[in-house]
Structure 1
């Protein structure tokens, strides 16, 4: 659905593009969610496990930054993952403010099981685009995300 705003052409185009972008992202996320692969986890919980799986132990602030979540939100996500024994928090003995988050064996097993399934589902969903279209979309999203003008 395009914008119903009637203004200067550049603003109308930007609004129309934004609407299509957000609707496409929401539709893609809904289709992936409906597959049920991540059923035991929230999207944020999966993001934490995936980051730890691929990057290794991280401090809470770095995790928060990588997942674009507030520190308060990440704290709640980590609390819930820790209750399920999927992650472990370790305080740095030299600086007790520094907490390193690591996967437990159960967390490692779960993400090793779920990640390939989710990655395959994403590949299937994006297969409506050619490889070149996927590269172009990736480049455009990176540019948009960084707010680059050139």
Structure 2
């Protein structure tokens, strides 16, 4: 039964992502003060979590080709949201780090996005909200075990 169960779960998760995005995911692009693309915001939010990264690792995480990362990061550097420097031990390695201004923007956008999600969920019943909360807690707990062998 395990292969069938794994197939159902993988298909269910793949179907869940677009549904969550369509129904709940707000777009941070509503911030008109900076002309940033979705990819810029994705990189910024990822760097906020990672704190710093190499360009190669960031491109791998975002599924963006290394050459396409250059203009994406150029724009973030231009607005002082990230800094870029060559590696100390290997000058071919380029490292990027989120700046305090980048952190500030991510935190502000995160607050706005959370408000948008709350507004969208506000029409659900308290019972549905409690079920969703419980399911999210359980999903998070299970996902934290993914890279660890089953006990």
The bucket for the TM-score relative to the shorter chain is: 0.5 to 0.7
TM score, norm. by length of structure 2: 0.60
Distance 1:76 1:94, change over 3 A: same
- Correspondence for 1:59: 54
Aligned-residue Cα RMSD (Å) equals: 3.9
How many residue pairs match? The answer is 134
Q: Aligned partners of 1:61 and 1:123: how far apart in 2?
A: 35
Q: What residue number does 2:26 align with?
A: 32
1:85 to 80, 84, 96: 80
Alignment of 1:1-150 (within 5 A): 24=19, 27-28=22-23, 32-33=26-27, 37-39=30-32, 40=34, 41-122=36-117, 124-125=119-120, 130-132=132-134, 134=136
Structure 1 portions without partners, runs of 5+: 1-16, 143-150
Secondary structure, counterpart of 1:69 in structure 2: coil
Superposition TM-score, scaled by structure 1 size: 0.60
Over 3 Å counting, the alpha-carbon distance change for 1:124 and 1:70 in structure 2 is farther
Shift of 1:109: 2.1
Runs of 5+ consecutive residues of structure 2 not aligned to the other structure = 1-11, 123-128, 144-151
